[in-house]
Amino acid sequence: MVTVKINGTEHQFEEGMTVLEAARSVGISIPTLCYNEYLKPYGGCRVCLIEQVGRPTLVPSCTTQIFDGLEVITESDRITASRRFVLELLLARCPGSEKLQKLAKEHGVDYDDPDSLDTVGKYLLTRAPKRGETNCILCGLCVRVCQEVTLRHALSISNRGIDRKVSPPFLRYAETCIGCGACAYVCPTKTITVEEVS
């Protein structure tokens, strides 16, 4: 057992847990979009960032392992500002995702209410001509479950920059797809559906 201080309160946890798992086990909620219990965490969505006391940068709670004497803060002005920034970016890309809209509103970001937006959000609202075309936040969970769990390699992330997208390798139908629906199951924004896969 190790002693970890979360938001000023000491807790005992078994070794090997991440901060996200430890916090959840004691009822502390840390938002995340790219975490899935079946896959090794990789901190891709940047929504679950926390402060580790003694460290200058924010770190993803899903990849930070606990250790004896660790002290973390899961809510602060700095963390809130970071989460709002990330959610504004994601919402500008995927305004139609209900899950993302709900999470963003919980953090005070609402594209239907421009007064709730920071400067970046207001800029994105006026500069996003392709809004609504996709609900994919490019978290990569569908690709990872296809490659690491089902071992089918029927999905990949193609292109670069703003043209990045999830697609079959070489942008052609992948015969390795078995229609299992694992990609739809892990998709946090429900962009992929079982009907599309089957």
121 plus 85 within the same structural domain: yes
Cβ count near 53 (within 10 Å): 10
Does the structure show a pLDDT above 90 at 12?
Answer: yes
42 plus 19 within the same structural domain: yes
Residue 78: C-alpha distances to residues 30, 73, 85, 111 (Å): 15, 10, 11, 22
172 versus 54: which is more confidently predicted?
54
Report if residue 136 sits inside a domain.
no
Does the structure show a pLDDT above 70 at 124?
Answer: no
Least confident of 15-19, 163-167, 174-178, 194-198: 194-198
Report if residue 133 sits inside a domain.
no
122 plus 87 within the same structural domain: yes
Report if residue 134 sits inside a domain.
no
Distance CA 44, CA 62 (A): 10
Q: Where are the extended beta strands (E) located within 75-145?
A: none
Domain that holds residue 16: 2-75
Residue 172: C-alpha distances to residues 13, 58, 160, 180, 196 (Å): 47, 39, 18, 18, 15
* Mean pLDDT for the stretch of residues 166-172: 84
Residue 101: C-alpha distances to residues 92, 110, 112 (Å): 10, 7, 10
Look at the chain and report how many structural domains it folds into.
Answer: 3
pLDDT digits 0-9 by tens, 14-70: 999 999 999 999 999 999 999 988 899 988 889 999 999 999 999 999 999 999 999
Contact present, 198 and 180 (Cβ < 8 Å): no
